[in-house]
Chain A
Amino acid sequence: MSVKSESKYEKDYYKDGICPFCGTVKEDIKINKKTGCAFCFEVFSDIIEEEIKRKLGHVTYKGRVHGKNQALVPVYRNNAIAVSSLSLNEAKKRLLEIAVKEERYEDAAILRDEIKELEKRDKRDDYAE
């Protein structure tokens, strides 16, 4: 996916030297050698290339690549409905706790409704079985 093909609004960010995704500015890269997200590598590709070449020389990536050495992927697809040790419900309850702690009550209300809905669905499934 190329970020450079995005809207005009985002192209303006490129011109200004700001990453549209995380707000990193080119000075962060030049001075601190730090990026903020994966898209920074496209937005600031010239600066990053120059910096890496200066410090490490010309390097070619030689390691593992996902999707090319994945013998296990088809196995996973056949077992898509795997036994889950952590249910969706538990995960949402965890999010609810955090939302209450951070006083995000609107999010908490949505999550509470979703949990109720999931519990209803679980009960229906149990009944059907």
Chain B
Amino acid sequence: MPNNINDNIVLSSKVSLKRNIKSYPFEEKMSTAQKCELLTNMMQYISLRSRLLNSKLIYKDAALISENELARLIEKNILNEKNKENNEGVGVFFDKSENLSILINSDSQIEIKSNLWGDNLKDAYNKVVYYDDIICAELPLAFNDEYGYLFSDIYKCGTGFEASACLHLPCLEYTEELKSYAENMRMFGILIGNIRKSDSVYEIKNVLTAGISEEESIENLEKVIYTLVNGELSERNFLKNDEVMTNSIKEAVFLLKNAMSISYDEFLKCVSFVRIGLSIGLLSGIDKYELNKYTDSLSDAAIKESYKTEEVSERRAKLVKSIFEKVN
């Protein structure tokens, strides 16, 4: 369990390494037959290396899974949004914890991804690198000494490395300070994007892959995260006595405890206020790490899959009621 102070603000860390194979055309020029051939080859290739990998990998074919499971795997960042359509020849391997996945034939031919809770960019990077060493060691990768790993978009050639962190920044958003942070960060090749409007969760992501090493990218990102976390904490301290904020927190808890039906967006919005309440000491009775677990397990796709029901909002309200009963 992570015990960093940032964990209440840094919700998750994601890292991915993309690779293409020299002997196949890039994704956009690949035929379905070529994709299926590569996928089958990769299935054999990865299974041959399975003893070296820490955990046994589960395989799912994007074209053969149910719509609901597809949605759940996209929510978990195991599959990409674009895999909803044209997913023939797209397959994914992932470990039981769903923290690590190897996606074949999506944005690139091989994409090794790691998602970890909290402020864990370095751990996620180490995990991805370990798999990269085992899986890509002997593959004929599309690589050029001058540009690095090669991709269809010429400006994306380089490390093929992407790192991002999801930060809960409601107070910086509320005071509109976030805009000025975003402008300054763009100069360092780091973008801030709002991934969910409902609960003020922002994704901080590196976009530069040329002329910068993977470690340098992580260092830059960590510096930015540190600055944002400090900014958010000082705003939270300042807003501690703000009447509008404290009322909103109380309203959110009331709604979570008493709603008969609650949509996922509403739920996330309320959880966002609960997080602030816990952080400023106004609320207690629930562990902040538990909240991360619930934001995943109470999504539409997850409820449909676990409870086999179409009345998702009603079921969510019941579950939420029992979880937040102890919050006061």
Contact = CB atoms under 8 A, between A and B. Distances in A.
A35 B150 CA distance: 9
B52 interface: yes
Size bin of chain A's contact surface: 35 or more
A66 B44 contact: no
A52 B147 contact: yes
Interface string B16-44: 00001010111011001100110010011
Contacts, number: 151
Contacts of A76: 49, 52, 134, 137-138
B154 A37 contact: no
Interface string B139-166: 1011111111111111101110100000
Which of B32, B44, B141: most chain A Cβ within 10 A? Answer: B44
Contacts of B25: 21-22, 36-37
B86 interface: no
B29 A63 contact: no
A128 interface: no
A72 to B, nearest CB: 5
Nearest to B146: A61
Nearest to B136: A66
Given A59-B211, A63-B161, A85 B154 contact: no
Given A63-B214, A72-B137, A73-B138, A24 B155 contact: no
A85 B73 CA distance: 21
A38 B150 contact: yes
A108 interface: no
A37 B48 CA distance: 27
A66 B141 contact: yes
A7 interface: no
B63 to A, nearest CB: 9
Contacts of A94: 40, 43, 61
Contact of B210 (A21, A22, A59, A84): A59
Given A36-B25, A85-B50, A86-B44, A62 B137 contact: no
A36 B48 contact: no
Contacts of B26: 22, 35-38
B154 A61 contact: no
A88 B212 CA distance: 40
Nearest to A71: B133
Contact of B49 (A82, A98, A102): A82
B52 A86 contact: no
B152 A35 contact: yes
Interface in A34-53: 34-38, 41, 48, 51-52
A35 B145 CA distance: 17
B159 A83 contact: no
Contacts of A37: 24-26, 29, 142
A52 B137 CA distance: 28
Given A33-B153, A51-B154, A76-B137, A86 B211 contact: no
Interface of B: 20, 22, 24-26, 28-29, 32-33, 36-37, 40, 43-44, 46-52, 56-57, 59, 61, 88, 129, 132-134, 136-139, 141-155, 157-159, 161, 209-214, 216
16 contacts: A21-B25, A38-B22, A38-B150, A41-B147, A59-B158, A61-B210, A62-B212, A63-B148, A63-B212, A64-B213, A72-B133, A83-B51, A84-B47, A90-B43, A94-B40, A98-B36
Interface of A: 21-24, 29, 33-38, 41, 48, 51-52, 55-57, 59-67, 69-73, 75-76, 79-80, 82-88, 90-92, 94-95, 98, 102, 104
